[in-house]
Amino acid sequence: MSAAPPRGAADGREIPADDPRVQLDEALGVFEPVPPYPPRTEREAEFYTLGDGEMFINMGPQHPSTHGVLRIVLKIDGENVVDLDPVLGYLHRGVEKLCENADYHHSIAYLDPLEYISSLFCEWPGVMAFEKLLDVTPPPRAEYLRVLSSELNRILSHSMFIGWMALDLGGLTPILYGLIERDEIAEMLAALTGQRLLFNYFRIGGVNGDLNHEFLSRLGDWMSRATTQIEANTMLLNENEIFVRRMRGLGTMDQATALRMCMTGPNIRATGIPLDFRRAHPYSVFPELDFDIPTRDEGDCLARYLVRIDEIKQSLRIIDQCLHQMPDGPIMAKLPRLLRPRPGRAYAAVEGPRGQYAAYVISDGTDQPFRMRIHDPSFIHLQSVGTLMPGHLIADAMAVMASLDPIMGGVDK
Amino acid sequence: MARSWSRLTLAGKILFTVIPILFVLTVGLVLLIVIAGKPIVDFLAANIWLVRFVVAATAILLMSVPTAFLIIYMEMKVIALMNLRIGPDRVGPFGSLLSVVHGLKVLMKEDFSPTGADRLVFTLAPVAVFMATIMALLVIPFAPGLFGADMNIGLLYLFAVSGLTVVGLLMAGWSSFNKYSLLGGLRSAAQVISYEIPLTLSVVGLLLLAGTMSLNQIVLLQGPHLVNGVATGGWFTDWFVFRQPLGALIFFIAATAEANRTPFDLTEADSEIVAGFATEYSGMRFGFFFFAEYVNVFVVSGLIVTLFFGGWNAPFPWPWPVSVGFDPGSLGIGLLLLIAIVPVVGTLILAAPFFLARSSLPAWQAIVIGFVLFNLLAIVAIAGWAFISFDWVAGLLWFLGKSYVFVFTFVWMRGTLPRVRIDQLMGFAWKWLLPASLLNLFVTALAIVVVHPK
């Protein structure tokens, strides 16, 4: 090993003998995660120094259960995770910058693929922020349509979560039951919006399409059996001794830590804090709707899983009320041909299936946003793996990861 | 020719070399026996165990591959149906040839080993796993008179051989030069060694009752027994599962872990350690692991059936074999006439209704239909005759039927259950299964002492 120069030596820099790469190469050979040189922080230098009996393992970016292209460098001692270093950016597309180079209508389409499993919630804060800049109020029918379609999207996202959760614990079947529900809802939303995955449905001042016969017949067909179907799908896990024993008490997060980590959505509601932006900062027509905020006190993986199942039931209630209360009327507000908001700033946030989706827009008076900042819950939740994973086994680390439900498209933006 | 030869993978080259050699050897052997004649026949007759062993080993090797294919197909299809999917439906009837096609594909794939791998160990590991699994098949009695070897230490041999699997898995995990493989290999070592103990202890109670380790004897004990020259009993209540229920349960759980099946499939947990020990394997080397896994499922199922569910015994007093009182040899020259006439007459009789019912049908088509029908009838008749005349046919069917019930159970569990965690796995083995199997042994021994004091 001494004959081969350590990697990185080719660029001509002198590499000291205490460079962690040299030590790694000598100790372990090739195929090790290469630490940045020189270490950018003390934390990095500390992380890439191996203790006794420890080794690094590269989990991702190509790994069956990292939910996309996340790479986690795990420092493990046997099966125990000692420490970890998430490496982000494998799916970075520069969405914020793309939005700044498109006009206000066009940038909605760029927001869609942020989280490809909950597209409507990625559009919504952007559209709401643009509306605030332009002083436009969408008509009530459009608001009801937004709530209706986005609650369907929430159920879609949560039913996929149940499947992924089981898949990461080794259960093969629930993912396919989840996919059935997802497919029904995707077809339904395709009838409403014209797309199955990236809906691009919301417009500044309204929505793209009104209710139609196909959507309503599919929705009615599905609603008549949705409650029993969701319960049947989750029964395979909820009453499974292996599943419950693995999930209970795993990755427990207390309220103080959850608040310190800026967690939102089901992950913070699983710790007992009833934070829901639909109630905390009411927007759209949510003040007119009657629904509960399900919470759990345990804060573990099982609580995060059960809170999501309860949320599906609440979403069904909201959809039912939307269908009954929806007024007649236009679905688009009157807008000028060319959108040129006055210079200013606007912030909007919505409650999505993973937490708070928000957008902060600065306008300089032209027809393009001067600055667009997207706040995504997956990124916020992913930072808590550093406190949740160490001390657990590799198998549990994956379960913790799945219970936080991050989508890498949203993390890397 | 040369070009296509160079394109073949190593496995293909070996295959295309070995098949002609085997063919030449077989033909040569037959010629040798025909020409050299008597001395060889005498030698073989004197050492009939050798012939038996060679035939059994060959048959088991040949049988293991279709068995693996069948179980792989069954797993794909059954789990697909449980998942509300269609599953394989393209190749063959109901997609049943898909696993065969997979097998051929695996054979044609490139055969490589990663940089830094220990080539020799890396190559030997799949062979070790496959051999250990195949060797276990040798002592399982499939039917009366249908077994590789009747060892008086059969069960001990079986445990010893199936424990060899872990050596192969460790070799694979260590030699791959991949940390996921290493973790998988170590997990398998920990798991298989831990579960070997309850697995072995759970059958000690059975051995106390049976008084023998020969699997043949154990099966015979669960069947009808002679009382004053008359066969009595033979009901399913004689099966050991009713005398050792706890032992059977422990054996089933431990065997699931031993075969690395869900919920104990930690060695190849794809959501945690990618594919465990098999991460770096591809082509036929991976195929060996894959085949071994499914043959192992069959071995474990067969073992459960043999030990606890009566082996090849029927669950009720089986009236057969019955002599149908017909010896074809007694017909003499009439047999030839029968063979010549019956197919023709049968074909014509079966063809007649089709010919008469539809005037548009040409005569030759009606005859083809009749011929096919006659052949089907003949096959059913011969199979039925064999079923009632030879006890090994009925026994084999009972054994396979019972075994595949357990194979189905393993597949079912795979479709339903999530995976346990490694510490739960170890805790379950040492804290629950081991005390339970010791309790089972203690109670059995106590009962024997109380009921049959010597």
Q: Report pLDDT digits (tens) over A337-369.
A: 888 888 889 999 999 899 899 999 999 888 888
Could you tell me what percent of chain A has a pLDDT over 70?
A: 91
- In the predicted model, is pLDDT for residue B433 greater than 80? yes
* Pairwise CB contact (< 8 Å): B422 & A237: no
CA distance, residue B251 to nearest chain A CA (Å):
20
pLDDT of residue A8: 47
pLDDT of residue A9: 46
pLDDT of residue A15: 61
Angle at which helices B154-163 and B119-137 cross, to 10°: 160
Average pLDDT over residues A388-407: 87
Q: What is the CA radius of gyration of chain B?
A: 26
Query: Which range is least confidently modeled, A239-253, B332-346, B398-412?
Result: B332-346
Residue A335 tokens, joined? 């807008």
* Pairwise CB contact (< 8 Å): A177 & B84: yes
CA distance, residue B177 to nearest chain A CA (Å):
9
Residue A132 tokens, joined? 């605030």
Residue A70 sits at φ, ψ, to 5 deg, of -90, 140
Chain B residues closer than 8 Å to A50 by CB: none
What digits encode the pLDDT tens for the residues A301-347? 999 999 999 999 999 999 999 999 999 888 888 888 888 888 889 99
* Pairwise CB contact (< 8 Å): B271 & A172: no
Look at chain B and report how many structural domains it folds into: 3
Q: Max Cα separation, chain A? A: 79
Instruction: Tally Cβ neighbours within 10 Å of residue B224.
Output: 17
User: Which of B187, B195, B190, B189 has the alpha carbon at shortest distance from B272?
Assistant: B187
Average pLDDT over residues B386-396: 77
Comparing CB atoms, the residue among A64, A176, A393 nearest residue B271 is: A64
Chain centroid offset of residue A15 CA = 41
* Pairwise CB contact (< 8 Å): B420 & A246: yes
| Pair (B38, B74) in one structural domain | no
In this complex, is the C-beta atom of B413 within 8 Å of any C-beta atom belonging to chain A?
no
In this complex, is the C-beta atom of B79 within 8 Å of any C-beta atom belonging to chain A?
yes
CA distance, residue A78 to nearest chain B CA (Å):
8
Chain A residues closer than 8 Å to B422 by CB: 79, 393, 395
pLDDT of residue A23: 62
What is the pLDDT confidence band of residue A6, given thresholds at 50, 70 and 90?
very low
Evaluate whether residue B261 is within a structural domain. Answer: yes
Query: Which range is least confidently modeled, A129-143, A193-207, B225-239?
Result: B225-239
3-state secondary structure of A48: coil
| Pair (B339, B316) in one structural domain | no
Please indicate whether residue B59 or residue A272 has the higher confidence score (pLDDT). A272
Evaluate whether residue B62 is within a structural domain. Answer: no
* Pairwise CB contact (< 8 Å): A242 & B265: no
Chain B residues closer than 8 Å to A172 by CB: 79, 83, 414-415
Class of the CATH domain delimited by A95-412:
mainly alpha
| Pair (B248, B300) in one structural domain | yes
Q: Which candidate in A30, A32, A57 is best for mutational testing of the B interface (most B CBs within 10 A)? A: A57
* Pairwise CB contact (< 8 Å): B83 & A65: no
State the average pLDDT for chain B: 83
Alpha carbon separation from B72 to B79, B88, B102, B328 (Å, rounded) = 11, 11, 10, 41
| Pair (B100, B126) in one structural domain | yes
Query: Which range is least confidently modeled, A343-352, B110-119, B429-438?
Result: B110-119
Nearest residue in chain A measured CA to CA from B78 = A173
What digits encode the pLDDT tens for the residues B271-289? 778 888 888 888 888 888 8
CA distance, residue B309 to nearest chain A CA (Å):
28
pLDDT of residue A27: 57
Q: How many CB pairs under 8 A join A and B?
A: 82
- The domain spans of chain A are 9-87, 95-412
Nearest residue in chain B measured CA to CA from A30 = B116
Evaluate whether ipTM surpasses 0.85. no
Chain A residues closer than 8 Å to B82 by CB: 173
In this complex, is the C-beta atom of B321 within 8 Å of any C-beta atom belonging to chain A?
no
Query: Which range is least confidently modeled, A30-39, B204-213, B352-361?
Result: A30-39
Three-class DSSP labels, B366-412: HHHHHHHHHHHHHHHHHHHHHHHHCHHHHHHHHHHHHHHHHHHHHHH
pLDDT of residue B324: 59
How far apart, in whole angstroms, are the C-alpha atoms of residue B419 and residue B421? Answer: 7
Q: Which candidate in B271, B419, B424 is best for mutational testing of the A interface (most A CBs within 10 A)? A: B271
Please indicate whether residue A32 or residue B244 has the higher confidence score (pLDDT). B244
pLDDT of residue B406: 92
pLDDT of residue A2: 42
State the average pLDDT for chain A: 85
pLDDT of residue A21: 60
CA atoms within 13 A on the CB side of A277: 20
Evaluate whether residue B404 is within a structural domain. Answer: no
pLDDT of residue A153: 92
**Cβ atoms of A274 and A295 closer than 8 Å:** yes
What digits encode the pLDDT tens for the residues A53-107? 888 888 877 787 777 788 888 888 888 898 888 888 888 888 999 988 988 888 8
Chain A residues closer than 8 Å to B79 by CB: 172-173
| Pair (B32, B137) in one structural domain | no
| Pair (B37, B139) in one structural domain | no
Please indicate whether residue B30 or residue A18 has the higher confidence score (pLDDT). B30
Chain A residues closer than 8 Å to B270 by CB: 64-65
What is the pLDDT confidence band of residue B405, given thresholds at 50, 70 and 90?
very high
User: Which of A235, A230, A153 has the alpha carbon at shortest distance from A196?
Assistant: A153
Angle at which helices B434-451 and B179-202 cross, to 10°: 20
Average pLDDT over residues B123-138: 87
How far apart, in whole angstroms, are the C-alpha atoms of residue A286 and residue A267? Answer: 21
pLDDT of residue B327: 64
* Pairwise CB contact (< 8 Å): B265 & A396: no
Full-model pTM: 0.81
pLDDT of residue A333: 86
Evaluate whether residue B297 is within a structural domain. Answer: yes
Query: Which range is least confidently modeled, A227-241, A386-400, B30-44, B196-210?
Result: B30-44
Chain A residues closer than 8 Å to B274 by CB: 63-64
* Pairwise CB contact (< 8 Å): B418 & A393: no
CA distance, residue A30 to nearest chain B CA (Å):
9
User: Which of B281, B314, B287, B296 has the alpha carbon at shortest distance from B401?
Assistant: B314
How far apart, in whole angstroms, are the C-alpha atoms of residue B44 and residue B54? Answer: 11
| Pair (B349, B200) in one structural domain | no
Q: Which candidate in A30, A72, A176 is best for mutational testing of the B interface (most B CBs within 10 A)? A: A176
The helix or strand, by DSSP H or E, that contains position B81, with its residue range, turns out to be: helix B48-82
The helix or strand, by DSSP H or E, that contains position A83, with its residue range, turns out to be: strand A80-87
- In the predicted model, is pLDDT for residue A30 greater than 60? no
Please indicate whether residue A62 or residue B379 has the higher confidence score (pLDDT). B379
pLDDT of residue B454: 63
- In the predicted model, is pLDDT for residue B290 greater than 50? yes
Nearest residue in chain A measured CA to CA from B184 = A79
In this complex, is the C-beta atom of B273 within 8 Å of any C-beta atom belonging to chain A?
yes
Average pLDDT over residues B82-99: 86
What is the pLDDT confidence band of residue A19, given thresholds at 50, 70 and 90?
low
Chain A residues closer than 8 Å to B420 by CB: 242, 246
In this complex, is the C-beta atom of B428 within 8 Å of any C-beta atom belonging to chain A?
no
Full residue range of the structural domain in which residue B138 is found: 67-321+420-451
Query: Which range is least confidently modeled, A148-152, B39-43, B345-349?
Result: B39-43
Residue A71 sits at φ, ψ, to 5 deg, of -115, 125
Angle at CA of residue A247, ends A242 and A251, nearest 5°? 155
Residue A198 sits at φ, ψ, to 5 deg, of -105, 95
pLDDT of residue A125: 92
What is the pLDDT confidence band of residue B176, given thresholds at 50, 70 and 90?
confident
pLDDT of residue B44: 76
Average pLDDT over residues B293-322: 84
Give long-range contacts, CB 8 A cutoff, 24+ apart: A338-347: A338/A367, A339/A103, A339/A104, A339/A105, A339/A130, A339/A134, A339/A204, A339/A367, A340/A365, A340/A366, A340/A367, A341/A104, A341/A130, A341/A133, A341/A134, A341/A365, A342/A133, A344/A133, A346/A129, A346/A130, A346/A132, A346/A133, A347/A129, A347/A132
* Pairwise CB contact (< 8 Å): A242 & B269: no
What is the pLDDT confidence band of residue A4, given thresholds at 50, 70 and 90?
very low
| Pair (B34, B81) in one structural domain | no
* Pairwise CB contact (< 8 Å): A236 & B79: no
Chain A residues closer than 8 Å to B80 by CB: none
Residues of A within an 8 Å Cβ radius of B? 29-31, 55, 57, 63-65, 79, 166-173, 176-177, 180, 236-237, 240, 242-243, 245-246, 393-396, 398
| Pair (B89, B203) in one structural domain | yes
**Cβ atoms of A378 and A408 closer than 8 Å:** yes
The DSSP letter of residue A367 is: S
- In the predicted model, is pLDDT for residue A33 greater than 60? no
* Pairwise CB contact (< 8 Å): B417 & A79: no
3-state secondary structure of A384: coil
